[in-house]
Amino acid sequence: MTDLSVSNSKKARFRLPDPWSVGAMVIAALVLAPILSVLWIALNPSENIWPHLLATTLPRYFVTTLEMMFAVGAVAAATGTGAAWLVVRYSFPGVRVLEWLLLLPLAIPAYIGAYALVDFLEYAGPVQTALRDLFGWQTSREYWFPEIRSQWAAVVVMAASMYPYVYLLARAGFREQSGCGHEVAQSLGAGGVSRFFRIGLPLARPAIAAGTAIVMMETVNDFGTMDYFAVQTLTTGIFTTWLESNNAGGAAQIACVVLTLVIFLVALEKVSRKKVRFYALSKRHRPIQRMPLHGAASWLATAACAVPFLVGFVLPAGVILDHALSNIDGFWAPGLLKAFWNTLTVGGIAALVTVIAALFMVYGIRLSGRKLPAMIAPITTIGYAAPGAVLGVGILIPLAQVDHLLADAIEAITNERASLILTGSAFALVVAYCVRFYAIAQGATDAAMERVAPSLPMAARSLGRGKARVLAEVYMPLMRGSIGSALLLVFVDCVKELPATLLLRPFNYSTLATRVYDQASLENLGDAAPAAVMVSFVGLIAVAMLARANR
């Protein structure tokens, strides 16, 4: 072999990656950086309080978090699965409307539902007031009423808010089943309950497990509901250790425990799907036909589907809207208008940056054809599973150190003390939102790009179009709808995000979510209601999109 051929073979083997591939790797590294930062801070704390945490609060935080995870997961799984089975399998009064109304609780964040439930059921609320007026009771000592600010109430609120995750996936799982198996089982004498447990539930188990895992991860992430009900979990422990005890290392160590729980849930969900597989044995797939219910059974089915909708949407929406209409001037309050503008700008910038980064990364990985970027891409979605409080720890502490270095450098050059640029502005919030919701943008972009026929970009390249022009002239026109949906979904989640916003917002900086939290924490639900209505309205837009996509 000649020297020239050896040289050419080495060049082919060790070719330099193009800028698209490098950019994709850089974006992946930036998305994973906060998670790695948490691990580094936890392993190198300025003050190691790990033994103190183990001896005092950590076991309580851990046990309570497990209790909430499994309780909320079990209630949400039972509610979502049962409702999905009824609307797919049976015909009863209102089924076509309830099939979509059952999605609406997704529009109401759990912390807003918590404020509404307490306001409705507390001692001075309309329920207990009506009971006292009806029976002539004078004080609470004359009758018994369950304690509202308690752990069981937090379970009810969170399950009512998040069961649609299970319902949506379970409904898809039931609808994709063939009606033949159910007809055979019915001909063999199996009743409705038997068919559910022997056929419907096993076939839909992977979808139900995936939805339940999402619910459990969102339960770990929640701060507003837990804090309002005084339920001490690992997430509330991060806030307490960092903000009250002023110990960032201890907060990072608790955050590592939370990350371990989340990774365990993700792994458990994936393992459960691998072990059980079902295949269609016939090319002729006949969908399940709804069986009509009659008499009391039909109205029981209607009530069973209506109760989750009433508790998860009608109750909180009704209470919040009543307070908002009673305080109509609150919609023009300066603080609310400023919070609205902050939410619009920060959420809009974060959504735009997130979608552009996801588009660049997905396209870069496709161009590279290398295994390493393709292996790293799924790992970047862990940000969506990581709680906002964990990301807050991993973002704020490194940015604060960089901020002080920048301030010192500016002072050395200008002899004037500079203000903090990164942590003194909304920059940290944008970073947190991008990392937290990057998985949404990546998933939508990857799915949209997968639907583009490979022959189209190949034809464009053969006509002399560069990689950037292929993306702009071939992919983007065909992906416009998916890109728009990704922008809106990321923006909606940014509007509702509370834990990361509370930790990373600058002083005197509020969003709609933090304004709701601040006012409700002061028991001022009247001033919190206008912001809560705005947050819920944005959530309704996302639910409408979701319903349209799952027709």
**Tokens 């009423």 sit at which residue?**
145
On whether the CB atoms of residues 72 and 155 are closer than 8 A, the answer is yes
Predicted pLDDT of residue 4: 46
Residues 344 and 244: their CA atoms lie apart, in Å, by 30
**Tokens 């998985």 sit at which residue?**
439
Predicted pLDDT of residue 406: 83
CA neighbor of 37 nearest in space, from 425, 449, 470, 397: 397
Do the domains 48-107+149-306 and 17-46+327-551 match in fold? yes
Predicted pLDDT of residue 151: 92
Q: How far is CA 509 from CA 342, 459, 497, 502, in A?
A: 8, 50, 15, 10
Q: Residue type for 285, please?
A: H
Predicted pLDDT of residue 73: 93
On whether the CB atoms of residues 499 and 392 are closer than 8 A, the answer is yes
Predicted pLDDT of residue 50: 79
CATH topology of domain 17-46+327-551: MetI-like fold (1.10.3720)
Tokens of 251: 């907060």
Sign, CA dihedral 111-520-312-225, equals positive
Predicted pLDDT of residue 478: 82
Pick the CATH number of 48-107+149-306 from 3.40.50.720, 1.10.3720.10, 3.40.50.800, 3.40.50.1820: 1.10.3720.10
* Segments in the chain below pLDDT 70: 1-18, 177-200, 269-288, 369-370, 372-374, 377, 418, 549-551
**Tokens 């979608």 sit at which residue?**
355
pLDDT tens sequence across 111-159: 999 999 999 999 888 999 898 988 888 887 888 888 888 999 999 999 9
Q: Where are the domains of the chain?
A: 17-46+327-551, 48-107+149-306
Predicted pLDDT of residue 284: 52
Tokens of 429: 């919030």
Pairing outcome for strands 90-91 and 291-292 = parallel
Residues 419 and 113: their CA atoms lie apart, in Å, by 39
Predicted pLDDT of residue 226: 93
CA neighbor of 309 nearest in space, from 100, 536, 92: 100
